[in-house]
C-alpha cells in the first residue's frame, strides 16, 4: 500500500511540477459577508451599496486605462496617414476605423464589467437569501419555544406533550432550511441526527432523512475543478471516468475512474465545488444561530457545537489530511492481521480531490445480504467492536470519529482464515488520537461501569472529564446511552424501547438543560468519543444480533483490562524494573490479575461465539 505522496500526482506517473498549489483562497467571495454575519445582519444594504460603488469605480478605472491604451496604440496610425499625402480622405478613413475600435473596446470593457458586477450581485442576493432563511426560522422557533414554555398546563403530562409538539414543529422547520441551504447545513443536520445522547427524539428522528439527501454536483463543475486544482482535464488523467457518482455525501461525492497511466480502477472522491463559495458564510450563520440560542435561552449553551465545526470542518475539507489518516490507519492495523479490516489504499491526493483504490461492499445494516451470504451478524458486531475498541484503547491508535453506516461496508470473503467477511472503512476525514492518560482513565471508567462500581465510576469520571458528583449520573447516561438506574445493575443488558423513551422523556423534562451545560464543559476529545460510542452503538443495534450488547461489552472490557495492565507494567519499569523484589511481587499480582480477567472474558466470548454459530451450546 502506497503512502500519501507529499508531491501530488507523483504516484500516477505525472510530472509533479504540474500540480497546482492552492495559493488563492476559494473562499474569497463570501469572506466579507461571512465575517459580519454574527454581528450585524442589518448592514446588508450598506454592504451592497459599498460593493456597487466599488464595482463602479473599478469599471471607470478600467475604462480610462483602456482609453489610454487605445490612444497609445492608434497614434502611429494617425501619423502615418498624414505623412502619406492622401489628405482628408485617408484621414477620414482612419478616423472611422478609430471610432469602430474605440466603440468595440469600450463596449467590451463595459460588457466584462457588467458580467463581473452581475456575478457579485447574484452572489450577494443568494447570500442574503440563505441568511434570511436561517435568521427567519431561528426567530420563529425561538418565539415558539418561549410561547410554549409560558403555557400553564393542567398536568405535568400535558406540559410534556406541549414541549414535545414544539420540538417537532421546530425540527420540521429547521429541516426545511437545512435542505434548502444544503452545503455544510446537511452535514450539521446529519451530525445532530446522531446525537441521541443529547437531543430529544423529535429532533433526531426528524433529521434522519438528511442521511440520504445529499447534493450531487454536475460533471461540468467537477471538470472545471480538476483543471483548477491539478492543471489537467479529467480525460488527461483517466481513460474512463463515470459521470454519475456512485455515492454522494454532504461534503463530497465519489466517481469510479480508470487511471490512464496504470489502468487501475479507482474511486475518485471530489469535493462539491459549491462549498468553496458558501463555507465561510455558513459557518458564520452556525455561530450566529447558537449564539442567539444562548442569548435567549442562557441555560441551553450549544456554542461548543459551532466551535467543534469551526475546528473540524476545515480539516475534513482538506483531502490531503484524509489521505494521511487513511494511510496511518492502514499501517496501524497491519499489526492486527486477525482483524478483517480493509482500508482502501491511496493513489494521490489534492486538497479537493482524493484518488483511492476502488473497493466496494454492502451496508452493515443490509441484513438480507448478510443472511443470504451466511455472514453471522454476531460476528460482524464483534468485529466492529474489536476495531473501534482498538482505536480507542490502542497505544497511539488513530480514532475514526465518524463511523456511521454510510462509512462502513461489508464484503464477502470466503477465503478468510477466521471470518468469511471483511469490514471496509471509508471516509477518514475526521480522526483524533486520544492522549495516553485520558485513554487509561477512560479504560478504568469503563471497567467501573461494567462492575457497577459507582464510587470508582465517579472517581474516573472526574479524572476523564472533570465531572462533579452532581453531574455524574447524567454523564454516565450520556457516555453509555443507558438509563442511570440500569448502570447500577447491568449495563450489558439490551436497551428496551421503554428505556429509550424514558431517556428521551427525561430530556424533555429538564435533563436537557443540564446535559447541554455538561457537554459544553467537557474536553472536545470527549465529545468525539461520545459521538463514536453513540454511532457504534447504533450500528450494533441495527444488526439485531442474537446476543444483544453482552458480547460487545465483554470485548470492551478486554481492551480496557489490557490498557490498565500496560499502565501497571510501565509503572513497574519506571520504578526500577523486576530486579527489585517489591516490583516483582507487583508484577506477579498485575499479571495474574490480568490473566484471570482475560481468561474469564475470553472463555465467555468463545462460548457466545459458539452459541451464535450452533445455536445449541449454553
Residue from 19, 15, 11, 18 nearest 264 by CA? 11
CA dihedral 367, 372, 378, 383 (to 10 degrees): -90
Catalytic residue among 378, 402, 427, 540: 402
Measured between alpha carbons, how far is 195 from 533 in angstroms, rounded to an integer? 11
Residue from 285, 283, 282, 303 nearest 38 by CA? 285
Instruction: Give the H or E element holding residue 253.
Output: strand 252-259
Instruction: Give the H or E element holding residue 29.
Output: helix 28-36
Instruction: For residue 425, give every residue at least 6 positions away whose Cβ sits within 8 Å of its Cβ, in sequence order, or none.
Output: 329, 341, 342, 343, 387, 400, 403, 407, 408
Contact in structure between 253 and 244 (CB atoms under 8 Å): no
SS3 409: strand
Report the first-to-last Cα separation within the chain, whole angstroms: 43
- The grid coordinates of residue 537 equal 452503538
Measured between alpha carbons, how far is 214 from 186 in angstroms, rounded to an integer? 7
402 assigned to active site: yes
Long-range contacts of 232-241 (CB under 8 A, 24+ apart): 232/14, 232/18, 236/260, 237/12, 237/14, 238/268, 239/263, 241/268
Pairing of β 341-342 and β 421-425: parallel
Number of other CB atoms surrounding residue 577 within 10 Å: 11
Measured between alpha carbons, how far is 372 from 366 in angstroms, rounded to an integer? 10
Measured between alpha carbons, how far is 393 from 228 in angstroms, rounded to an integer? 42
* DSSP-assigned beta bridge partners for residue 248: 253
Helices (H), 182-340: 184-193, 201-206, 219-230, 234-237, 275-296, 303-316, 319-333
Instruction: Give the H or E element holding residue 614.
Output: helix 581-614
φ, ψ for residue 255 (rounded to 5)? -115, 155
Angle at 80 between CA 77 and CA 84, to 5 degrees: 145
Instruction: For residue 83, give every residue at least 6 positions away whose Cβ sits within 8 Å of its Cβ, in sequence order, or none.
Output: none
Contact in structure between 362 and 300 (CB atoms under 8 Å): no
SS3 213: coil
- DSSP state at residue 362: B
Long-range contacts of 261-267 (CB under 8 A, 24+ apart): 261/12, 261/13, 261/14, 262/12, 262/13, 263/239, 264/347, 264/357, 265/358, 266/347, 266/355, 266/356, 266/357, 266/358, 267/344, 267/355, 267/356, 267/357, 267/358, 267/359
Contact in structure between 198 and 478 (CB atoms under 8 Å): yes
- The grid coordinates of residue 583 equal 516490583
- Residue 44: exposure state from Cβ atoms within 10 A (0-12, 13-18, ≥19): middle
Catalytic residues: 402
Amino acid at each position: 500500500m502506497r503512502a500519501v505522496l507529499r508531491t501530488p500526482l507523483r504516484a500516477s506517473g505525472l510530472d509533479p511540477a504540474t500540480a497546482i498549489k492552492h495559493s488563492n483562497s476559494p473562499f474569497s467571495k463570501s469572506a466579507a459577508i461571512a465575517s459580519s454575519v454574527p454581528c450585524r445582519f442589518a448592514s446588508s444594504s450598506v454592504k451592497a451599496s459599498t460593493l456597487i460603488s466599488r464595482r463602479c469605480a473599478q469599471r471607470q478605472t478600467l475604462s480610462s486605462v483602456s482609453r489610454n491604451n487605445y490612444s497609445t496604440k492608434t497614434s502611429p496610425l494617425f501619423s502615418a496617414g498624414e505623412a502619406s499625402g492622401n489628405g482628408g480622405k485617408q484621414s477620414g478613413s482612419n478616423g472611422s476605423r478609430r471610432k469602430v475600435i474605440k466603440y468595440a473596446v469600450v463596449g467590451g470593457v463595459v460588457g466584462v464589467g457588467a458580467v463581473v458586477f452581475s456575478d457579485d450581485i447574484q452572489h450577494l442576493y443568494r447570500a442574503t437569501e440563505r441568511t434570511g432563511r436561517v435568521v427567519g426560522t431561528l426567530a420563529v422557533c425561538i418565539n415558539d419555544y418561549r410561547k410554549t414554555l409560558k403555557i400553564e398546563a393542567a398536568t405535568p403530562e400535558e406540559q410534556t406533550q406541549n414541549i414535545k409538539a414544539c420540538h417537532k414543529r421546530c425540527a420540521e422547520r429547521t429541516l426545511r432550511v437545512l435542505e434548502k441551504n444544503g452545503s455544510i447545513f446537511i452535514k450539521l443536520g446529519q451530525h445532530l441526527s446522531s446525537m441521541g445522547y443529547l437531543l430529544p427524539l423529535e429532533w433526531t428522528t426528524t433529521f434522519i432523512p438528511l442521511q440520504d439527501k445529499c447534493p450531487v454536483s454536475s460533471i461540468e463543475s467537477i471538470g472545471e475543478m480538476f483543471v483548477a486544482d491539478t492543471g489537467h482535464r479529467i480525460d488527461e488523467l483517466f481513460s474512463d471516468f463515470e459521470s454519475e457518482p456512485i455515492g454522494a455525501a454532504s461534503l463530497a461525492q465519489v466517481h469510479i475512474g480508470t487511471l490512464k497511466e496504470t489502468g487501475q480502477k479507482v474511486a475518485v472522491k471530489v469535493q462539491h465545488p459549491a462549498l468553496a463559495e458558501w463555507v465561510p458564510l455558513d459557518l458564520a450563520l452556525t455561530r450566529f444561530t447558537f449564539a442567539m440560542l444562548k442569548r435567549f435561552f442562557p441555560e441551553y449553551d450549544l456554542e461548543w457545537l459551532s466551535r467543534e465545526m469551526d475546528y473540524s470542518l476545515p480539516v475534513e475539507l482538506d483531502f490531503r489530511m484524509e489521505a494521511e489518516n487513511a494511510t496511518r490507519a492502514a499501517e496501524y492495523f497491519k499489526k492486527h492481521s486477525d482483524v478483517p479490516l480493509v482500508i482502501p489504499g491511496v493513489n494521490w491526493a489534492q486538497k479537493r480531490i482524493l484518488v483511492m483504490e476502488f473497493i466496494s461492499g454492502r451496508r452493515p445494516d443490509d441484513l438480507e445480504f448478510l443472511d443470504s451470504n451466511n455472514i453471522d451478524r454476531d460476528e460482524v458486531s464483534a468485529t466492529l467492536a474489536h476495531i473501534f475498541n482498538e482505536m480507542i484503547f490502542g497505544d497511539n491508535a488513530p480514532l475514526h470519529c465518524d463511523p456511521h453506516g454510510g462509512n462502513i461496508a461489508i464484503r464477502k470473503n470466503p477465503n478468510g482464515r477466521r471470518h468469511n467477511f471483511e469490514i471496509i472503512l471509508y471516509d477518514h476525514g475526521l480522526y483524533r488520537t486520544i492522549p495516553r492518560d485520558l485513554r487509561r482513565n477512560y479504560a478504568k471508567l469503563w471497567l467501573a461501569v461494567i462492575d457497577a462500581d459507582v464510587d470508582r465510576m465517579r472517581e474516573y469520571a472526574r479524572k476523564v472529564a472533570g465531572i462533579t458528583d452532581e453531574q455524574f449520573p447524567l454523564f454516565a447516561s450520556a457516555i453509555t446511552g443507558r438509563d442511570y438506574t440500569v448502570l447500577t445493575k447491568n449495563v450489558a443488558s439490551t436497551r428496551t424501547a421503554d428505556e429509550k423513551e424514558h431517556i428521551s422523556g427525561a430530556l424533555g423534562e429538564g435533563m436537557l438543560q443540564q446535559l447541554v451545560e455538561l457537554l459544553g464543559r467537557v474536553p472536545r476529545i470527549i465529545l468525539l468519543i461520545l459521538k463514536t460510542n453513540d454511532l457504534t452503538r447504533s450500528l450494533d443495534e441495527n444488526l439485531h444480533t442474537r446476543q444483544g450488547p453482552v458480547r460487545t461489552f465483554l470485548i470492551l472490557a478486554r481492551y480496557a483490562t489490557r490498557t490498565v495492565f500496560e499502565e501497571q507494567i510501565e509503572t513497574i519499569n519506571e520504578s526500577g524494573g523486576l530486579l527489585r523484589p517489591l516490583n516483582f511481587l507487583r508484577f506477579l499480582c498485575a499479571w495474574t490479575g490480568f490473566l484471570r480477567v482475560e481468561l474469564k472474558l475470553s472463555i465467555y466470548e468463545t462460548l457466545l461465539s459458539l452459541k451464535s454459530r450452533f445455536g445449541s451450546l449454553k
